[in-house]
Amino acid sequence: MFDKRLAHEGKPVWRYLMLTVGLGIGISLLAVAQAWFFSRVVAGVFLGGASLSSVRNSLIIILGIIVLRAIFQLVSEISAHEAAFRIKSSLRKRLMSHILSLGPVYARGERTGELITTVVQGIESIEEYFSKYLPQLILAGGIPLLILGFVFPLDWKSGLILLLTGPLIPVFMILIGKLAEKKSLHQFQSLSWMSAHFLDVLQGITTLKVFGRAKDQTRVIERVSDSFRKATLSVLRIAFLSALVLEFLATMSTALIAVTIGLRLVYGTLSFSAGLFLLLLAPEFYTPLRTLGLNFHAGLSGMNAAGRIFEILDLPLMSVEENQRGQELSSDFHIFLQNVSLTYQAGEVPALKGINLSLFSGEKVALVGPSGAGKTSIAQILLRFIEPSTGDVFVNGELLKTISRKNWREQIAYISQTPYLFAGSIAENIHFGRPSATIEEVRSAAQAAAANEFILDLPEGYDTLLGEGGTRLSGGQAQRIAIARAVLKDAPLLILDEATSSLDPDTEYAVQQALKQLMHGKTALIIAHRLSTVRHADRIVVFEQGQIVEQGNHEELMRAQGLYCRLVSEYQGKSI
């Protein structure tokens, strides 16, 4: 079986692959030479009574051929693995770059464990396709023909037997491969599903413990593991069966040649030297076909993994305008969403419908409304994680999509409801805002975010290592680290997505003070559930079912007695 698209990935390293194939052909030619010298020595010693001195040179040549074959084999394996390593590195880089370009909207729609398996285990599965299967596929087609070129001139009968029996091995390999293909695909899918489930369990272990479902998940994990075990054993069963069939065919074919040669030696119609030479060449004829059969399942695993990898790589990215350029936000800028609508998936209810919204330099604009009203979708569009289904976004009269995403995001500081902190030190996490910043600037940013005090109280201060997701910090502390990142970045546009919705009143007050200092002199888009945090915004925009239903400052909206007024009344009632 041959995957054209996967083989196309080998173009950048074709020299390594050709070296591997060339050395494989060289090994076969050396095997022919070794068989020829060996048959001459044996015939000379046992039939001609030759002395050791008369065959010494031939024995030295045979020894040299053996050493040279070993060297060729070593260099061939090194070359094949180097080619596979380069392809893996390139493919993994492209895959990760594509996933990152697809953005968080795509990642949230996939199971993280399955993506990890594809990026790690899936890419690793491709190594044997390039290091073993693909070179052997070429050698299996070339070396038997090369061997026949030596056999036919010497004995056409043996050549005819090889020619007729040789194709049986790839035919049976293909027949068994058809059966193994589905089994191998099922095995990879089982591995991906198991990895995804394990990660889900680890991430949700607190919930499982609280609801007393940990033992239930233990049984589920047992079933999932057993399913993967059965899938693996099913593939191995077919692999052993195919190896048995291929070895049996090769052995029987070699035995058939041995019998015909033996009969002709008895009747004197074939010389001993020629007969032994032919008998030694017969295994060499079948070796590349047998090796291909042994590597067939490794190649199949690589092709199945590649199917999932290319499925991800084929996902379209957001449209990219030609001649994208960098554009710095001036001290007086204007962002305008014109008739913007957004539908995440075909057939779903639109998240946004005909939105017209302006954001001016230095303005503090708050987006409020019921859950699912479309507030966060506005942030996703401005961050360019997703493009509007219809409508356009303009920056100073220019289309936002004509500005490079990298340049645009460098001018935005984003703080979410649950900011992500990476495994590493606190200083490293703050440095994400501006990697070139000095430690003094990091400390200054933490001071502005009201984080310096609690950081210094930690055992190792700014060098304190955090667990994955910042597990050693409270919600308020993690939020202040995120604010410190934003302070360090010093971007002209801030997007705050419910940055205080999950905090207690005391912590919320501390974070609000830090946010107030952060927003000073900057443009801010504030998405909030806690309406007490938006009372002093320059403009409040009220969303409902993906549409803007009213906007104005707090006093104007309260006098209008509309949705905002009802939301404030409900919020105050819940707060009592």
Q: Look at residue 336 in the predicted model and tell me its pLDDT.
A: 92
Range 44-48 average pLDDT: 82
Q: Look at residue 393 in the predicted model and tell me its pLDDT.
A: 92
| Predicted confidence band of residue 576 (pLDDT cuts 50, 70, 90) | very low
- How much of the chain is helix, strand and coil, in % rounded to 5? 65, 10, 25
Residue 297 near residue 184, CB atoms below 8 Å:
yes
Indicate the angle between helix axes 214-266 and 168-203, nearest 10 degrees: 160
CA dist., res. 346 & res. 245, Å (int): 50
Q: Which residues of 320-340 are buried (b: 16+ CB within 10 A; e: fewer)?
A: eeeeeeebebeeebebbbeeb
Structural domains in the chain, CATH included, are 90-313 (1.20.1560.10), 334-575 (3.40.50.300)
Range 222-231 average pLDDT: 81
Residue 483 near residue 511, CB atoms below 8 Å:
yes
Greatest mean pLDDT among 203-217, 286-300, 401-415: 401-415
CA dist., res. 351 & res. 374, Å (int): 5
> Quick check: 325 pLDDT over 70?
no
DSSP notation for 225-272? HHHHHHHHHHHHHHHHHHHHHHHHHHHHHHHHHHHHHHHHHHTTSS-H
Q: Look at residue 322 in the predicted model and tell me its pLDDT.
A: 47
Q: Residue written as tokens 């690589």?
A: 302
Q: Look at residue 575 in the predicted model and tell me its pLDDT.
A: 47
Distances (CA, A) of 428 to 237, 434, 463, 477: 50, 10, 8, 15
User: In sequence order, which residues have a C-beta less than 8 Å from that of residue 73 and are 6 or more positions away?
Assistant: 23, 27
DSSP tag of 534: S
Q: What is the pLDDT of residues 178-226, one digit of tens each?
A: 666 677 777 777 777 777 777 777 767 767 766 677 777 777 777 888 8
Least confident segment among 138-142, 451-455, 484-488, 510-514: 510-514
Secondary element (H or E) of residue 482:
helix 475-489
CA dist., res. 546 & res. 422, Å (int): 33
> Quick check: 491 pLDDT over 60?
yes
